[in-house]
Amino acid sequence: MTQAQRTGSPSTPFDTLKAERLAMVYIDGAWVAPQGGTSHAVINPATEEPVARIALGTAADVDLAVAAARRAFPAFAGSSRADRIALLRRVADVFATRREEMARILTMEMGGPLKRTLGYQTAAGQTHLDEIVRVLETYRFEERRGRTVIRREPIGVCGLITPWNAPVMQILTKVAPALAAGCTMVLKPSELAPFSAMLFTEILHEAGVPKGVFNLVNGDGPTVGEALARHPDVDMISFTGSTRAGVRVAEAAAPTVKRVHQELGGKAANILLPDSDLEEAVVRGVQSCFGNSGQSCIAPARLLVPKDQANRAAAIAAAAAETLRVGDPMDPATDLGPLVSRAQFDRVQELIAAGIAEGATLVAGGLGRPDGLTRGYFARPTVFADVVPGMLIEREEIFGPVVTIIAYDSVEQAIAIANDTPYGLAAYVQSRDPSRAEAVAARLRCGYVYLNGAGPDYSAPFGGWKQSGNGREYGEWGLDAFLELKTVVGAAPG
Ligand SMILES: NC(=O)c1ccc[n+]([C@@H]2O[C@H](COP(=O)([O-])OP(=O)(O)OC[C@H]3O[C@@H](n4cnc5c(N)ncnc54)[C@H](O)[C@@H]3O)[C@@H](O)[C@H]2O)c1
């Protein structure tokens, strides 16, 4: 780290992200100074030191960005499918050339281990780009039924608000379908992880996204996020983040009756059926929960095990937690990096303390940093056994490396516990018999169920039920989200 980065002066450790751009917003195809506003030091969570300061935009910047997007909308909405496919292919090509740089930036700003930012976050981003091209090639924008025509048209100017936990992937799952649909947009990324969004903006610029089609305004939620949500000339908000902020966005958007697409928090259950391979299922569940240091909306944080296997499950989980390497996220061998911020670290500590106070049995990890780490927002991979439904650690989304083991008496009870949450994003079921696992999946009230360690399918819809949201991303469902339906009756017979 250079002296300039240590002091937080507007230098940049990145190869190509120009230092002066950190103090700018991107509007109408150009980097420009914001209309006033403050600046914000982005902290490297592994070192607790500032990396650089970024400018936080204002509501006036949102006005300018929305106006640029509105001006660009008619031409872009009228562009051909072939033009948009070509554009998305160019974005995918440029993204591929900058992928490693992107992974390093992500690791620096949000602390995800390099093996994950390179191997998962940016890889998934690339897949989403390839996937939207595949979808766009055959998507039916118009359907004729006799003299009735059903059209799908771009919804208009979109406000995109994204979190920090898998930043570039969450940006891509909005920007890629919005471009495919012919929408124009204003992105407000998380102020905790803005560099990846700025690099992504450079990628779009280099790929030749027409001016005004994509705009970036960094800023905090209450200022820039709410200005976007309230804006009368924004037709849709696509939001990913906490349920708390998602509700605020929906409230701000309500007077203008715009579409609000929400991807919110979760508290996934991982049901180990009595016939599962306990060792394999517990190890996999623990590793999956601790991916991204538990900062994942789909983290299988509630491990439900049959009562007679609970002690063994706790021992296996504790051993699995203790083998994980916590440390420098830039080290390719690291499994868990730091939590994203001091606030997140403090919150996770509070919830671990609450678990201890509530009488859950701590079998691995606990309060404080892992041994040997004296700075950085590193939490200990923590496993609680004897967790009872209703405990705070069983209900709250912890967003840290904490697994809670809950013993159940019957599969009926396991299903009831899994569903007894305000959230409904993801769930997991483990069984030696895939059809038995599938039967349980059918009874879970959530939007995505992973059976027996299956990975994600980026061509299938992803999104939450209940307080986990109301939108769907990925594949054609992701594209549907950015389109409005129009029915035309009395058309010439087709
Ligand atoms: N369902 C999903 O697909 C999904 C994916 C990833 C993360 N998440 C959820 O995101 C949360 C973690 O991310 P986070 O801490 O960045 O969430 P957050 O809600 O604090 O912030 C998300 C975004 O919303 C903005 N924001 C905050 N307050 C706002 C307001 N009042 N008005 C408008 N915008 C506002 C933030 O600046 C940020 O850009 C977790 O709850 C996690 O489960 C959900």
How do residues 22-68 score in pLDDT, each as one tens digit? 899 999 999 999 998 899 999 999 999 999 999 999 999 999 999 99
Confidence of residue 450 (pLDDT cuts 50, 70, 90): very high
Q: Is the pLDDT of residue 389 over 60?
A: yes
Which residue is catalytic, options 158, 183, 289, 297? 297
Which pLDDT score is estimated for 137?
98
User: Residue 100 catalytic?
Assistant: no
What phi and psi values does residue 190 have, to the nearest 5 degrees? Answer: -65, 135
Whether the CB of 297 sits within 6 Å of ligand 1: yes
Confidence of residue 15 (pLDDT cuts 50, 70, 90): low
Q: Can you give the C-alpha Rg of the chain in angstroms?
A: 23
Please name the residue whose Cα sits nearest to atom 39 of ligand 1: 190
Of all atoms in ligand 1, which is nearest to the CA of residue 252? 32
Residue in the block written with tokens 């250079």: 2
Look at residues 24, 400, 37, 392 and name the one whose alpha carbon lies nearest to residue 215. Answer: 24
pLDDT in tens, 262-306: 999 999 999 999 999 999 999 999 999 999 999 999 999 999 999
Task: Tell me which of 58, 109, 128, 161 to substitute to probe ligand 1's pocket, judged by most ligand atoms within 8 Å of the beta carbon.
Answer: 161
Cα 63 to Cα 278: distance, rounded to the nearest angstrom: 55
pLDDT in tens, 72-100: 999 999 999 999 999 999 999 999 999 99
Helix (H, G, I), strand (E, B) or coil at 439: helix
Q: How many CA atoms lie within 13 A of 272 on its CB side?
A: 30
CA angle 300, 304, 306 (to 5 degrees): 155
Domains and CATH numbers, the chain: 7-264+468-487 (3.40.605.10), 269-458 (3.40.309.10)
Q: What is the mean pLDDT of residues 109-124?
A: 93
pTM for the whole structure: 0.96
Q: How far is the CA of 162 from the centre of ligand 1 (A)?
A: 6
Whether the CB of 294 sits within 6 Å of ligand 1: no
Cα 381 to Cα 73: distance, rounded to the nearest angstrom: 48
Q: Is the pLDDT of residue 109 over 90?
A: yes
Q: What is the mean pLDDT of residues 168-185?
A: 98
Which pLDDT score is estimated for 70?
99
Residue in the block written with tokens 């006005």: 63
Q: Is the pLDDT of residue 3 over 80?
A: no
Cα 87 to Cα 432: distance, rounded to the nearest angstrom: 45
Q: Is the pLDDT of residue 18 over 90?
A: no
CB 37 within 8 A of CB 202: no
Q: How far is the CA of 163 from the centre of ligand 1 (A)?
A: 5
Which pLDDT score is estimated for 64?
98
Pairing of strands 25-27, 30-32: antiparallel
Q: Is the pLDDT of residue 343 over 70?
A: yes
Q: Is the pLDDT of residue 4 over 60?
A: no
User: Residue 109 catalytic?
Assistant: no
Of all atoms in ligand 1, which is nearest to the CA of residue 163? 16
Q: How far is the CA of 164 from the centre of ligand 1 (A)?
A: 8
